[in-house]
Structure 1
């Protein structure tokens, strides 16, 4: 039984979590430097402020990265605002053309692969490219939610199974109907992403001569789940809009800059540690198995609203998979290798059931981000040779290396998601404050509190409608 698939168990689990969080928050409320707010707390400390000031030596570097990432975050509007808004129209148009080409090249070598890799976003490939050039990642992220929301509505009218477009990702917790799961060791990866984010805000604020009122750790109950910096609000409002933009963009910029660093670390770790450990494990593993059989055939997939398992009613537990598309498979590794060459392709499974052999054509699930053979709605297990056993040291070395590798990739993934989320043009996210200044200037003609409120309200209303479409699958 899936623990979180039963409504009463889910409610009980949620109740226990709420009681723990509220109770532990109450316990720590009288500790020095702690400011509690029912379920979360702010742990302020001069030590954190001193730490940020110590790293303020990196302010020039952080500032340069913030300028670059402001343009990536808000496209040609940000480039014109930061560099060209006081220049002659002719020069602004030339600069806009240059920045447009640069942003287009960046998109085609990075985010385009995300769009063409998903069937329902592929049709909007050109629109994504244009919006990225105009509005940067803020427009890209918002339109991604629009497309996903439309896909959900179309799927529901067609009677198809659809996944939520937005959902909380809590490390160690399987959210019902959400096909993405972050293991428990995602917590330190998330904390790293948030510390980088908030630390960069603080460093950039110091560079722009904005006083830091406080800094510290965010606690959910007694569990640390992030960091915060609190710049002087009056000083921030009085600062020039360009300086405010760099302060707000410093956080997501730090996350963006960390993404290629984590990728590089992962590649180096893979080359020098994971790959040698895997090869040793694979050699030992293949020597102790002699085939692969189906362990379970799912009637419904354990994600979203439970679409029918593609292999249900065709394959059955206990069948031995002999070949796929004519390629012999003798273990799970070979099976996954064959199926992974194209996750969306119809496959011909040759199976052996007792003394009988048969072939079946099966099309995998096209929507869920599942890797083979799970996208066919089956789980498999290897058939061990009698009395064979893998050396424990080889097995331990591989699994430890795999966990470290997964952690590094989680640091990459969560930094990317924190960056993309914070560039969304809605208050109280960083992107919302940037959008208020930018779009007040370009669409309303002047940056003032009244115009910024108009922009903020419009963006919030738009986001509310889009988010509502994306969460419909939770309620159907």
Structure 2
């Protein structure tokens, strides 16, 4: 419905006169003056852009490796340690993004990230003397894209290293922004919840920059519940449930009514083990509860506290968190070797003209097939674990 309204308004305003291309399924804006703007910007920042362009080549390999590591490790976790498996979904407004706040944060973040990404492609192209014919953005009903369109002839004639610099610049700008912005967000306790899901270095950052809670505090016990019968008390601290470490409320595992759960607690500094019967939730008979009222506070206390987030509106914190998250993951995922992503162009540029065109096509489609299967498997396993989920 929103898309129909957008198209009707665009037609009524005759946006075609201002560089827009309108179709039933898409709205595309192209601007031919982008190259002039990029050259002016380059004139003031040429030395820094040169360093950034070189870093982008190295970063391209690192980001691609990290993306593959994450996806492969995540599949392994599903079969070996399912509690560590991270659910993946494609963010599509109205389909997988359904709550009004999530859609709002996404719509506010994505233009900033796309401008940064495509601007980096363009400014490095200007550095390498590759003309940008047009730049702009596109909306395909509920999917968003930004683009800069280089002169194909100039791009094809450019040196291999120049092409790699241009291709790697977009994702590198997103990840570098996320690193710098993340240093600021390390003062926000909400940021710790996101770091939990990042493999390889998420736990390292958490342990370095946050004081972690011992577990979740029990505020009160529900009468006639499994928790009461097992002897749990208010002010006990739950540290594990069924051997799943509990740092905060989000770590509580899915339980089913009637099953038996093992609970580890701290009581006055003493570790105790309890076994209890899981009860059915009064609101949802299929959801299991251990029978407590818990402290739902965020379990992370920042070590660096030069910004006091307690006085900042929660919606602002969430928007900044989404901006960081989208910038980081768009940068990383964009370096996967798929036809529509920068990673595919990156690999193609590396092997092009080193082997025959036929061999290049065979290799590229083999890589595309493997990457698509791996990415699709992560999404499929996410639905097997948690069903159809939305944000």
Shorter chain as normaliser: what TM range? Answer: 0.5 to 0.7
Do structure 1's residue 33 and structure 2's residue 19 form an aligned pair? yes
TM-score by length of 2: 0.63
Structure 1 alignment gaps of length 5 or more: 1-18, 75-135, 271-290, 296-312, 328-337, 352-358, 364-373, 383-396
Do structure 1's residue 216 and structure 2's residue 136 form an aligned pair? yes
1:394-420 deviation line (CA, Å, top 9, x unaligned): xxx946444333333322221110110
1:415 to 311, 316, 327: 327
Q: CA deviation at 1:422?
A: 1.1
CA distance in 2, matches of 1:69, 1:143: 19
2:107 to 187, 195, 198: 187
Q: CA deviation at 1:429?
A: 0.9
More helix per residue:
1
Q: CA deviation at 1:375?
A: 12
CA contact (8 A) 1:197 1:251 kept: yes
Give 1:24's aligned residue: 6
Q: CA deviation at 1:427?
A: 1.9
1:227 to 146, 152, 165: 146
Query: For the structure 1 residues 61 and 450, does the alpha-carbon distance in structure 2 shift closer, same or farther, using more than 3 Å as the test?
Result: farther
1:163-216 deviation line (CA, Å, top 9, x unaligned): 77541124687559xxxx956323222221111100011111111111111112
CA contact (8 A) 1:252 1:423 kept: yes
CA distance in 2, matches of 1:399, 1:169: 30
Query: For the structure 1 residues 375 and 220, does the alpha-carbon distance in structure 2 shift closer, same or farther, using more than 3 Å as the test?
Result: farther
Q: Secondary structure at the match of 1:43?
A: strand
CA contact (8 A) 2:135 2:148 kept: yes
Q: Secondary structure at the match of 2:147?
A: strand
Query: For the structure 1 residues 38 and 455, does the alpha-carbon distance in structure 2 shift closer, same or farther, using more than 3 Å as the test?
Result: farther
Give 2:362's aligned residue: 454
CA contact (8 A) 1:214 1:230 kept: yes
CA contact (8 A) 1:167 1:471 kept: yes
Give 1:249's aligned residue: 168
Q: CA deviation at 1:360?
A: 4.4
Q: CA deviation at 1:64?
A: 1.6
Give 2:177's aligned residue: 258
Do structure 1's residue 167 and structure 2's residue 89 form an aligned pair? yes
2:219 to 292, 295, 318: 292
Query: For the structure 1 residues 165 and 209, does the alpha-carbon distance in structure 2 shift closer, same or farther, using more than 3 Å as the test?
Result: same
1:294-345 deviation line (CA, Å, top 9, x unaligned): 79xxxxxxxxxxxxxxxxx7359xx996122499xxxxxxxxxx94499589
Deviates more, 1:245-254 or 1:224-233: 224-233
Deviates more, 1:226-235 or 1:181-190: 181-190
Matches within 5 A, 1:27-426: 27-28=9-10, 30-31=14-15, 32-46=18-32, 48-56=34-42, 57-74=44-61, 136-152=62-78, 154=79, 166-170=88-92, 182=102, 184-221=104-141, 225-267=144-186, 292-293=219-220, 314-315=226-227, 322-325=234-237, 339-340=247-248, 347-348=263-264, 360-361=274-275, 380=293, 398=310, 400-426=312-338
TM-score by length of 1: 0.53
1:79-122 deviation line (CA, Å, top 9, x unaligned): xxxxxxxxxxxxxxxxxxxxxxxxxxxxxxxxxxxxxxxxxxxx
Query: For the structure 1 residues 218 and 360, does the alpha-carbon distance in structure 2 shift closer, same or farther, using more than 3 Å as the test?
Result: same
Give 1:369's aligned residue: none
CA contact (8 A) 2:75 2:85 kept: no
